[in-house]
Amino acid sequence: MAGTHSALRVLDVSKSFGGVRAIRNVSLEIAAGERISVIGTNGAGKSTLFNAVAGVFAVTSGTIELFGETVTKLSTATRAKRGLARTFQTSRLFEQLTAADNVFIALGGNEYTGGLLRLARRNPQRWASVERLLDRVGLEGRGRQQVADLSHGEQRQLELAMALALQPKLLMLDEPAAGFSPAERGKLITLLRELPQEITLLLIEHDMDIALAVASRVIVMHDGEKILEGTPDQIRNSERVREIYLGGSIDHAA
Amino acid sequence: MTKLVEFTRTRRSGLSRYIWILWIAALGAAIVFPFVVDRPRFWLPNIGVRSLWLGIIAMSLVFLNRYIGLLSLAQATIAGISAYGVGYMMVTRGQGFFVAVPVGILAGTLAGFLVALIAARTKAIYFLMITLALGQVFYSYASQAIEVTNARRGLAPIIKPNLGFIDLGTITSFYYFALALAVICYLLCRFVAATTFGLALQGIRDSPERMSALGYKINRYRIAAITFAAFIASIGGVVLVFDRAQVDPNVVSLGSTLDILVVAVIGGIGSLGGVFIGAIIVTMLDNFAQDFTDRYMTLTGIVFIIVLLFAPAGIGGIGKQARRVIDRRRKDTTPAVMESPQQEPSAALPTDEAITKGKQQ
């Protein structure tokens, strides 16, 4: 894992909200093209880590590097331009617009000045991309629906289409399967496995099945710290993980 | 390719496909208006022109509310600054129409840009309060700066000029002048809303966090939108100043700000064209209610409340409201749409939408 090939490097990052230390001295490194899952129970600090990397808030201490460049102080928008795309755990879609409009806007995040004052509907190339992306995530023919009329599952699919619209180098998904039916989970796993190899994936997931099925390496967080890292098989067989997920951690609390 | 056409063409559905007929009718009525009223000397300035500039200024407010979800109370002030710009150039500097009007519009637009720099980072109630406060700052400036605004006495007379090809001094041609500007402003707003830029604004309205995550610098978009709205309001200010033939602090007072807000809400805070209906209702109440009651302000208030109760999206939003009801009826009766039963109504509370969505931000 040489520095130049790492997609993301988190060095000794901590974040406190008031007196609460949400994450403590977390370090991790993800090589370009790797598939990583971060798992952990509620309140383990997964989402805080995720938001710190995305740049939603400033970290209390530590450094974050994207593609070999320090981005600790850069804005969310700038990080997005460097090739980072994320989804949101609770839907933050453009509710009053159609699914197609949502993706159309997402595609605009990359091109900045080009044709801002051109009528949106006179942009056949971009609409063609919209269509391709909708097809890719399984929303064929749903483009004209208002977001409010989409089912929960479809909204999650739309989330993914919008993240992919940025043609990200690093794709971060925040619990993409939350509220999914088993059938939808299956579809999501297939979709994630089919992502082009050059996309680095960082997945935060509550659901062990998906986390382990998609990732080549799994990071376990607990109480704001990274406590374990390993292959899906190692994690599956870990006594410690079972303890955390089933019984809480009596030893750690002391 | 077929699908693509579908995307773009069927965004307007059902009744709204025929809305242009309504627009042609309204425009036709506005054009023949001077010839059908009994007392043009009363109707054209007091109802016609006044409704037009009230409508233009309120439209700039509605544009901001509808497309970036911010309620600005600075629009009357911005129009007033434009009016002061015209007044200053004509009265104090003795300049002609073709210098004074661009200066006025520039002054108003620039003022809007400055307001945007200060207010664009805030949202909801804070944006509202900041724009209100800035408006009040200008009000007290206008009431005191003798050299520039001539304080409370204001700048007068601002005479409607004869431009050669059109004599704005006659009431009919001035009415058409105002009507033309109103139509241009409306089309401009519609155009901007339909551009890639306009779509991005709607994205910012619905989810600023998402837009940042997509790489948009949302503040720049907000500033651009507020400046554009200021440009529209400034055009309203030009019509206003020639209509009143003078400009004084009253133009930028809290009362004027509230007038604009009332017009916008009655017309429909989400409907660009609806503001003109709101403006007509307000000017009619202003002019006629006095004939049969002393409490015409109370009457305006009552109309305001009735609109909020029964058509929260305003008069201009009634069509949409009705369509939602019809659509829902249809959904209930047509089995074809039953494929996805989990997507049921609660999501679509049509009437509150326009206002709450705007304010949620």
pLDDT band at B341 (very low <50, low <70, confident <90, very high): very low
Asked if B194's CB is within 8 angstroms of A80's CB, the reply is no
Residue type, B55: G
Is B203 touching A (CB cutoff 8 A)? yes
Provide the pLDDT for residue B121.
87
Do A26 and A65 belong together in one domain?
yes
Q: Which of A109, A139, A167 is the last residue of a domain?
A: A167
A183 shares a domain with A79: yes
In a domain, A28, yes or no: yes
A179 domain residue, yes or no: yes
Highest mean pLDDT among A13-22, A136-145, A166-175, B227-236: B227-236
Lowest mean pLDDT among A115-129, B71-85, B132-146, B198-212: A115-129
Q: Which residues pair with A30 in a beta bridge?
A: A8
Residue predicted with more confidence, B2 or B41:
B41
pLDDT at residue B1 greater than cutoff 80: no
Taking residues B57-77, report their average pLDDT: 94
Q: Are residues A28 and A48 in the same domain?
A: yes
* Choice between B328 and B306, residue whose per-residue pLDDT is larger: B306
Cβ separation B213–A88 shorter than 8 A:
yes
**Domain-located, residue A60:** yes
Domain final residue pick, A167, A196, A226: A167
A152 contacts B11? CB cut-off 8 A = no
Residues B293, B299: contact at Cβ < 8 Å? yes
pLDDT tens-digit profile of A51-93? 999 999 999 999 999 998 999 999 999 999 899 999 888 778 9
* Residue A240 forms part of a structural domain: yes
Whether A231 is covered by a domain: the verdict is yes
Residue A253 and residue A158 share a domain: no
pLDDT at A208: 83
A2 and A45 assigned to the same domain: yes
Average pLDDT over residues A18-46: 90
What does the pLDDT read at residue A205?
86
The model's pLDDT over B225-256, given as tens digits with 9 standing for 90+, comes to 999 999 999 999 999 999 999 999 999 999 99
- Domain of residue A154, residue span: 94-167
Q: Determine the average pLDDT of the residues in B102-129.
A: 94
Span A125-139, pLDDT tens digits: 889 999 999 998 889
Give the closest of A97, A104, A117 to B206, CB-based. A97
Give the pLDDT of residue B250: 94
As for how many domains chain A has, the answer is 2
Q: A126 and A196, same structural domain?
A: no
Structural domain includes residue A89? no
Summarize pLDDT for A198-240 with one digit per residue, the tens. Answer: 899 999 987 788 888 889 999 999 999 998 899 999 988 888 8
Clarify whether residues A99 and A159 are in a common domain. Answer: yes
pLDDT reported for residue B355: 40
Confidence of residue A113 (pLDDT cuts 50, 70, 90): low
Closest A-chain CA to B199: A105
- Per-residue pLDDT at B113: 97
Average pLDDT over chain B, rounded to an integer: 85
Chain A, 85 to 144: residues with Cβ < 8 Å from chain B are: 85-86, 88, 92-98, 100-102, 104-106, 108-110, 115-121, 123-124, 127-128, 130-131, 141, 143-144
> Looking at the domain assignment, is residue A88 inside a domain?
no
**Judgement on whether residues A74 and A180 belong to the same structural domain of the protein:** yes
pTM as predicted: 0.84
pLDDT over threshold 80, residue B90: yes
What confidence score (pLDDT) does residue A209 get? 83
Tokens of B314: 């305003």
| Residue B343 at interface with chain A, using a CB cutoff of 8 Å | yes
Give the residue from chain B lying closest to A151, CA to CA: B343
Q: Tokens 């519609």 belong to which residue?
A: B190
Together in a domain, A186 and A246: yes
Quote the pLDDT of residue B359.
37
Kindly indicate the confidence band of residue B358, based on its pLDDT and cuts at 50, 70 and 90: very low
Radius of gyration in angstroms for the set of CA atoms belonging to chain B, rounded to a whole number: 21
Order of strands, edge to edge, in the sheet holding A84-86?
A84-86, A170-174, A200-204, A35-39, A217-222, A225-230
Mean pLDDT for all residues in chain A: 87
A197 and A79 assigned to the same domain: yes
Residues A174 and A249 both lie in one domain: yes
A198 and A154 within one domain:
no
Out of A80, A148, A150, whose CB is closest to B213? A80
In this complex, do A144 and B217 lie within 8 Å of one another by their Cβ atoms?
no
Q: What is the pLDDT of residue B351?
A: 39
pLDDT band at B7 (very low <50, low <70, confident <90, very high): low
Reduce the secondary structure of chain B to three states and give it as a string. Answer: CHHHHHHHHCCCCHHHHHHHHHHHHHHHHHHHHHHHCCCHHHHHHHHHHHHHHHHHHHHHHHHHHHHCCCCCCCHHHHHHHHHHHHHHHHHHCCCCHHHHHHHHHHHHHHHHHHHHHHHCCCCHHHHHHHHHHHHHHHHHHHHHCHHHHCHHHCECCCCCCECCCCECCCHHHHHHHHHHHHHHHHHHHHHHHHEHHHHHHHHHHHCHHHHHHCCCCHHHHHHHHHHHHHHHHHHHHHHHHHHHCCECHHHHCHHHHHHHHHHHHHHCCCCCCHHHHHHHHHHHHHHHHHHHCCCHHHHHHHHHHHHHHHCCCCHHHHHHHHHHHHHHHHHHHCHHHHHCCCCCHHHCCHHHHHHHHHHHC
Regarding predicted confidence, which is higher, B94 or B4?
B94
Residue at a domain's end among A110, A145, A167: A167
- Portion of chain B with pLDDT greater than 90, in percent: 59
CATH number of A13's domain: 3.40.50.300
In a domain, A121, yes or no: yes
